Structure 1
Amino acid sequence: MFRYLIIDDEPIAHRIIENYCENLPYLEKKGNCYNAFEALQFLNEDTVDLLFLDINMPKLSGFDFLKTLPNSPKIIVTTAYKEFALEGYELNVSDYLLKPFSFDRFLKAINKTFDSAQNKKSSVALPPNETEPNINSFFLRGDKKHYQIHFEDLLFIEAYGHYTKVYVKNEMIVSPQKISDLEQLLPKFDFIRTHKSFIVAKNKIKQIEGNRILIGGYKVPIGQTYKENIIMLF
């Protein structure tokens, strides 16, 4: 479980982030702060793993607040001011969300942050006797719903015009999320791009025959520019 704190002087921003986080069971809200001084007091008494931090706040800006923290948690900046993006990355923020941001973009920031935390073995403050969460799924938007897709159930993804088709065991889901965005959510060592329109799960490949991959009862093409990816499997 990752614990988060929202720091923003706009109540509506808190509601949006909270609603997005409710779709992600591995996130737990620890508090709401409406200025940097409230946040400083909170962090003196408690710890979190992730801050959603606004920049333009009264008396003390988000970045000035961030500079006061000796050991900051992971930071996702949420702001309406794109001109401060460079300064944010110089302060090692995990991602920079420009308001208003969609759930898709929010989810990409969350997965990017967690992937960085795991791969770099960063010193995220976790509760006693609790280990880092095993991120083994993501949420997919489709048909006015959000589906939780477990990596172990995912067969392959197909670009379908402005949509994608996501094939899982016994089901196919059509989503408006782009295949390039979904690719960012997948574990790089478990999935492979075989065509500009296809991403497949390596462990679901039954057979490779010529320019086709057999997965279950499906035949997935191998694009000319992606053949090297296939050769790397052997």
Structure 2
Amino acid sequence: MIRYIIIDDEPIAHRIIEGYCNNLPHLEKAGNCYDAFEAMQMLNKEQVDLMFLDVNMPKLSGFEFLKTLSNPPKIIVTTAYKEFAIEGYELDITDYLLKPFSFERFVKAINKTINTVVKNRSATTSSSALKPTRFFIKGDKKYHQIATETILFIEAYGNYTKLYLNDDIIVSHEKISSLEELLSKDNFIRVHKSFIVAIDKIKTIEGNRILIDTHKIPIGQTYKSSIYKLYSSNG
């Protein structure tokens, strides 16, 4: 679960962000703040993984507030002013959402944030204690929440991408390269320009084929060395 706070002086911005977050069950609201000083108090009381931060606020701007924090949570900037983008990235924000932003754009920002939060937790927590990584993907006019441990393999299919899961197949317009960025290299491997497979789901490797469940997946010539490393250490 990722706990978030919203820091914005406009109530309508809170309603929009909360509405989007309510569609993503792995997000949990820790609080609402309408200026930087309320946010400081909130951070002292609550565990916060993510802040939705407006730039243009009274008393203290979003970036001025951010500079006062020694160990800030992940930041998604939400603002109507695109000219602040460069300064925002210099402050190591995760993403920069320009108001008004769509739910689809919001989901992309959340997916990027989930990846960085999980990586940070893995540095301080044993892997067995980590919750499975999850992300959202659009398919069939809906957003599907995908737990990465349910993925068997992913196939690029013309202008689409197919995600083969334990008990489902989801077809999306998302590029296979974008999905590859969301997946841990410890758990997934690119075996062909059109295929990514879950390493722990591989049943057998024979010749130029990988068997996962009943599916035979080709191994591309340029990926053979990566496949060889999977089993060569075991003799």
TM-score (norm 1): 0.82
1:77 equivalenced with 2:65 (yes/no):
no
Letter in 2 for 1:60: L
Using the TM superposition, give the Cα deviation of residue 47 of structure 1 relative to its aligned residue in structure 2, in angstroms. 4.4
Q: Contact 1:53–1:75 at 8 Å: present in 2 too?
A: yes
Which structure has more RCO (C-alpha within 8 Å, separation ≥ 6)?
Answer: 1
Task: Tell me the alpha carbon deviations over residues 35-68 of structure 1, each in whole angstroms, 9 at most, x when there is no partner.
Answer: 3233234335544232111222334211101112
Gaps of 5+ in 2: none
Matching residue within 164, 168, 175 for 1:178: 175
Letter in 2 for 1:69: L
Normalized per residue, the structure richer in helix is 2
1:228 equivalenced with 2:231 (yes/no):
no
Q: Report matched runs for 1:63-142 at 5 Å.
A: 63-99=63-99, 100=101, 102-121=105-124, 134-142=131-139
Residue number in structure 1 paired with 2:52: 52
Using the TM superposition, give the Cα deviation of residue 80 of structure 1 relative to its aligned residue in structure 2, in angstroms. 4.1
Gaps of 5+ in 1: 123-130
Residue number in structure 2 paired with 1:8: 8
Q: Secondary structure at the match of 1:200?
A: strand
> Taking every aligned residue pair, what percent have the same amino acid on both sides?
63
Q: How far apart, CA to CA, are the structure 2 residues paired with 1:40 and 1:206?
A: 51
TM-score (norm 2): 0.82
Residue number in structure 2 paired with 1:127: none
CA RMSD of superposed structures (Å): 2.6
Q: How far apart, CA to CA, are the structure 2 residues paired with 1:58 and 1:143?
A: 43
1:191 equivalenced with 2:188 (yes/no):
yes
Change (3 A) 1:95 1:228: farther
